[in-house]
Amino acid sequence: MVMFELPNIDVPMYVFLCVFGAYMLFYVIYSLFNIYHLIRYGIYGFGLYLIVTIFTGGTILLVAGSMFLLLDYDWTLPLSLNDATEFYNEDLFPGL
């Protein structure tokens, strides 16, 4: 019987931050394009500036909230695929 041993691959946790960063880049580009559309083709008035301000304010709040929560984690922690099962913790599903 031939036994296969999977190579131990360690993925640092900050890889997920890179994914989040890529998403944020898409978000910013799409938002700027949308704001450009509103300002370029919208009807001049106070409402236009109000909407852009509300959207920008909401985005800042959401990103700041995310950053606040994300700061507490250790992003240098290596995530080993072989040890993935070790992350299982019975406390995660106390109801089960």
Question: Where do contacts with other proteins occur on this chain (CB under 8 A)?
Answer: 13, 16-17, 19-20, 23-24, 27, 30-31, 33-34, 37-44, 48, 51, 55, 58-59, 62-63, 65-66, 69-70, 73-75, 77, 79, 87, 89, 91-95
Cα–Cα distance, 96 to 88 (Å, whole number)? 13
We find the least distance from the C-beta atom of residue 82 to other proteins, in angstroms, to be 14
Q: What are phi and psi of 93, to 5 degrees?
A: -125, 70
Q: Smaller CB distance to other proteins: residue 2 or 45?
A: 45
How far is Cα 72 from Cα 37, in angstroms, rounded to an integer?
Answer: 38
